[in-house]
Every structure is written in structure tokens, then in C-alpha cells.
Amino acid sequence: MFDLKAFLAQKTQLINQALAAILKTADKPDRLLEAMSYALMAGGKRIRPILCLAAAETVDGDPRNVMPAACALEMIHTYSLIHDDLPAMDDDDMRRGQLTCHKAFDEATAILAGDALLTLAFQILSSIPINNQRQATQWLRVIHLVSQAAGYCGMIQGQMLDMASEKRRFTLDELKSMHRLKTGALIEASVCCGAELAGAKADQVQMLEKYAQHIGLAFQVTDDILNVEGDPDIMGKAVGTDARRCKTTYPALLGLAESKEFAAQLVQSALETLDAFDQKADPLRAIARYIGERNR
């Protein structure tokens, strides 16, 4: 039986070490770097970088070659959280069990720390020593995938729609496509980057992309469920906020029981897309199940 807990702990440690090493390259810490580090090292679930590493292992790649991409993905995720938490957006006070960046520092510093993490992600992705053309084009392709997923046709558009969802009730299709953009795009990019950098074949990348689509949506459905019935102490952030903001959510549209059923179906579909892979896909299988059952 595959031990997911040990796998997650080991990968999280490696990712945290790699992230800390990147931030340590600065000669002297300053307020900007402190704010970046405060947000980045606060101990998130590291789902995106773990997916990136696990996808590489699924197609027999060396996860060490993929680590810069994994770190860049977590930086982009963290920047998006810092900006989403700002007073002009979701105006949240707590994140990852600590004060949000603009509460711990100030609004200007939080905006710039987010900008700096986004920019640093692309600096990391373009800093890999290149030995051959295949490698150079692979990393260019990864930069393209990541920028597309994070950009105005992806995550940022999703955040625009998310804010709109507080003003009027979304249909189920609108809700799905909002989440596909807001969280799905970067999750898909995480899996695809890991696979591509590990030299996956086109049909393998396609199957893994489908897997990522299913778990990305499942992740969001369980996020909505946790916002209704999660434990704020375990989650490190407030619950019940969606209802207070009158946001359209899966529980609001489908009810709690049917939302849980929907999440379970998505996990099942994700597992089926992995049928063509051997036991090296066990981490991805376990992650899919974990997303369906998570409590934080």
C-alpha cells in the first residue's frame, strides 16, 4: 500500500528546502524579501509543486530536474493568494494560519511582494543551465505553459470572474468554467510541466492533463464544502466566508450532499484517466483520493 503521508512529507520538505535556498541567494534581507518569504514559507499544502514532481515520476523522470518548475509554480500560487487577500479584493485577514501579508506588513509591500514572487518565478524558470536544444525548447515551452495558465486567459481571469460571482448568481456551467480558470489552469500546468520536463510522450501528457482537470475541479468543490463545514483551526483560515459574501458555490447550487457526491465522481474520473500508467502513478492516484477526503 502506497504511503501518501510519508510521500507528501518528504516532497514538502524537499520543496521547502528548494524554496528557502532560492530566497537565501539575496545578500541582505530587506522588507520586500521578508514579505515574500513570510508568505512563501508559511507552510501551504504545496499541492502544485507536489503534483509537478509526481507527474514527472509517473513517466519515470528524475524529480530533481523538475524542481525549479515546482518552485516557480508555488511562487505563482503564493503571489495569487497575496493579491487575492488584499482589501480591494477578498479582504482576508488570515491565510495559512497567520496574518495575511498586507496585515503583517502593509498593503503596498504586499502588492510588491506578490509582483516580486510572480517575477521571480519566471527568473527561476529561465535560470536553468542548458546543455542541448531539446532542453532549451522544453524550458521555453514550460514558461509558455505557466504564463498562459497564470495569465489573463487563466488564473487572473478566474479571479475576475470570482469577484463577479459575489454580485450575481452563477449557473453551474459558469461556476465550473470560473474554477477551471481560477484554480484549474495552474493545477493542469503543474502536472503538464512535470510530465513534459520528464520527457513524457504527447498521449501521456494528454492523459495527465485530463487527470489534472478532474482533480482541479474536485479540489475546488471540496474547498467550497470546507468553507461550509470545515474546521477553521485545522484550515488556518476562516470558514463561512462564501455565504457571508453571497458567493455562488457548489453547496449553494447543488446542496452539501450532492456536492460531496460530485467531488467523489470527479476523483473517480481522475483515477480512471490513470489506468494506462503503472505503479509509478500511485502518488497521483493517492493525491486524487486525498483531495476527495481532505479536511484542510
Out of 137, 167, 231, 261, name the contact with a copy of itself by CB under 8 A.
137
Residue 246: which of 162, 153, 137, 186 has the closest Cα?
162
Q: Which of 14, 56, 125, 198 binds a copy of itself (CB under 8 A)?
A: 125
Report how far residue 151's alpha carbon sits from residue 145's, in angstroms, rounded to the nearest whole number.
10
109 binds a copy of itself (CB under 8 A): yes
Give me the least distance between CB of 62 and a copy of itself, in Å please.
20
The yes or no reply on residue 269 touching a copy of itself (CB under 8 A) is: no
| Residue 17 burial (10 A CB sphere; 0-12, 13-18, 19+) | exposed
Distance CA(115)–CA(144), nearest Å, equals: 18
Q: Is 234 exposed, middle or buried (0-12, 13-18, 19+ CB in 10 A)?
A: exposed
Joined together, the cell numbers standing for residue 107 give 498593503
Residue 184 binding a copy of itself, by CB under 8 A: no
Least spacing, CB of residue 219 vs a copy of itself, in Å: 22
The rounded distance, in Å, linking the Cα atoms of 187 and 203 is: 18
Cα–Cα distances (Å) from 79 to 45, 119, 156, in that order, read 15, 10, 11
135 grid coordinates: 532542453
Report the interhelical angle of 47-58 vs 185-197 (nearest 10°): 40
User: Considering the rule CB under 8 A, would residue 9 count as an interface residue with a copy of itself?
Assistant: no
Site string for a copy of itself, 141-180 (x = CB under 8 A): x-xx--xx-xxxx--xx-xx--x-----------------
Choice between 20 and 153, CB closer to a copy of itself? 153
Q: State yes or no: residue 32 binds a copy of itself (CB under 8 A).
A: yes
CA within 13 Å, CB half, 31? 10
111 binds a copy of itself (CB under 8 A): yes
CB of 57 to a copy of itself, least distance (A): 25
Report yes or no: 259 and 224 within 8 Å, Cβ to Cβ.
yes
Which stretch in 48-56, 126-134, 186-194, 195-203 sits in contact with a copy of itself by CB under 8 A?
Answer: 126-134
Does residue 104 bind a copy of itself (CB under 8 A)? Answer: no
Q: Show contacts with a copy of itself in window 36-75 (CB under 8 A).
A: 36
Task: Choose between 132 and 279: whose C-beta lies nearer to a copy of itself.
Answer: 132
Listed in sequence order, the residues at least 6 apart from 285 whose beta carbon sits closer than 8 Å to its beta carbon are 2, 271, 274
Least Å distance, CB 138 to a copy of itself, is 9
Residues that bind a copy of itself (CB under 8 A): 26, 30-33, 36, 79, 83, 86, 88-89, 106-109, 111-112, 114-116, 118-120, 122-123, 125-127, 130, 132-133, 136-137, 139-141, 143-144, 147-148, 150-153, 156-157, 159-160, 163
